[in-house]
Amino acid sequence: MKFAFKKSSFKDWWTIIKDTFKEFFEKNPLRHCAAIAYYTIFSMPGIAIISVLVAGSFYEDEVVREELIKQIRLLMGDGSARQVEELMGQAVISGESIIMKIVGIVTLIISTTTVFASLQDSLNTIWNIKPKPRKEVVKFLFIRLLSLAMVASLGFLILVSLMADTLLAIFKQTISGYLMGASYYVVWGINLLISMVIITFVFALIFKVLPDAQIKWKNVWVGAIVTTILFLLGKNLIGYYLGTSNFGEAYGAAGSLVALLAWVYYSVLILLFGAEFTFVYNRHFGNKIKPIKHAVTIKVEQVEAEDKSVTDV
């Protein structure tokens, strides 16, 4: 696996960072974050259930479910983890009617894949790409299948996390007699490294697969690593903010849901910023991201009226 790390100077990095901030806020990212956060609330139960079903093919469902809630708790905190668990419980498909079950499954799939379709649209905007018009039914089915594949990959990552937890437990038991109290910090460091690897892979997968763009794996990794670092730093800042903000008093029973919405909003902001960094970084070093066959590059120009005496009413 190759990484496209280029020899660069301070001037290169300053130009990249400056252009990233400038172009990022020109594309109105807050609007995209709000839309994706809204869709995520409806998609999250389905994403969790399908991920558990995929990973549950190899592990017991209850073990997978507990691991998923554990990872959500590590990322979002106790309140958000409880909210996701409640949403998963409410999304369970039940009933005796086959028709109602089919309707429930179709609704679950559509709601689950909507957030990825919205994320794809946002990434296309960040990378100045727009898909060509094509048959709506074909487009709809393609996006949904692609989104389902992304959800299935999350189930695979839960499996990786479960296996890592098992190996860490064995490793901790083995070294505890040699390192005494230091074994906690060693395991903590390894756990952090594993988390960084998994999150980096998720971001790389999103940047590589979702947008309608041609980008090589080696050109994805730098942006994915930078996005992971920003995400882990931002996670602590967001967690501190949510921990010190009393959403319960302001929003009552909906406080934990609002906290979850806020967490997703700021996390998506970091993801889109990482996408913009990936775009600018590759362009700066001559690896310009190009659209796929069924998409085009968007070029935005500001045009002023030649006749200054004419004004719109």
Q: Copy the structure tokens of residue 166.
A: 């098992």
Residue 10 lies in a domain: no
Residue 14 lies in a domain: no
CA dihedral sign of residues 75, 46, 221, 171: positive
Q: Copy the structure tokens of residue 115.
A: 């957030």
CA dihedral sign of residues 164, 170, 175, 180: positive
What phi and psi, each to the nearest 5 degrees, are found at residue 296? -135, 160
pLDDT tens-digit map of 86-129: 777 665 555 556 776 676 677 777 777 788 888 889 999 999 99
Q: What is the pLDDT of residue 313?
A: 42
Q: How many domains does the structure of the chain reveal?
A: 1
Whole-number average pLDDT of the chain: 77
Q: What is the pLDDT of residue 237?
A: 82
Cα dist from 90 to 49, 152, 234, 257, 287, whole Å: 11, 21, 30, 14, 46
Residue 49 lies in a domain: yes
pLDDT above 70 as % of the chain = 67
pLDDT over threshold 80, residue 6: no
Q: Copy the structure tokens of residue 295.
A: 């998409």
Q: Copy the structure tokens of residue 243.
A: 């921990």
Which residues are within 8 A (CB) of 289 and not within 5 positions of it... i.e. 6 or more apart?
127, 129, 213, 214, 215, 219, 278, 279, 282, 283
More confident residue, 111 or 290: 290
Q: What is the pLDDT of residue 174?
A: 67
pLDDT over threshold 60, residue 163: yes
User: Which string of DSSP letters, residue by residue, matches 165-209?
Assistant: HHHHHHHHHHHHHHHGGGHHHHHHHHHHHHHHHHHHHHHHHHHHH
Mean pLDDT, residues 248-269 taken together:
77
Q: What is the pLDDT of residue 310?
A: 47
> Residues 43, 144: contact at Cβ < 8 Å?
no
Residue 267 lies in a domain: yes
pLDDT tens-digit map of 54-74: 777 777 777 777 777 777 777
Tally of residues, the chain: 313
Q: How far is CA 289 from the centre of its chain?
A: 20
More confident residue, 279 or 257: 279
Cα dist from 108 to 85, 125, 274, whole Å: 16, 27, 29
Residue 106 lies in a domain: yes
Determine the structural domain holding residue 169 and report its residue range. Answer: 25-297
8-12, 76-80, 159-163: least confidently modelled range: 159-163
Which residues are within 8 A (CB) of 22 and not within 5 positions of it... i.e. 6 or more apart?
none
pLDDT over threshold 80, residue 150: no
Residue 96 lies in a domain: yes
What distance in Å separates the CA atoms of residue 64 and residue 55, rounded to the nearest whole number?
A: 7
What phi and psi, each to the nearest 5 degrees, are found at residue 252? 65, -130
Mean pLDDT, residues 258-262 taken together:
80
What distance in Å separates the CA atoms of residue 279 and residue 227, rounded to the nearest whole number?
A: 12
pLDDT over threshold 80, residue 21: yes
Q: What is the pLDDT of residue 257?
A: 76
Q: Copy the structure tokens of residue 145.
A: 């299948």
What distance in Å separates the CA atoms of residue 139 and residue 211, rounded to the nearest whole number?
A: 14
Mean pLDDT, residues 245-256 taken together:
67
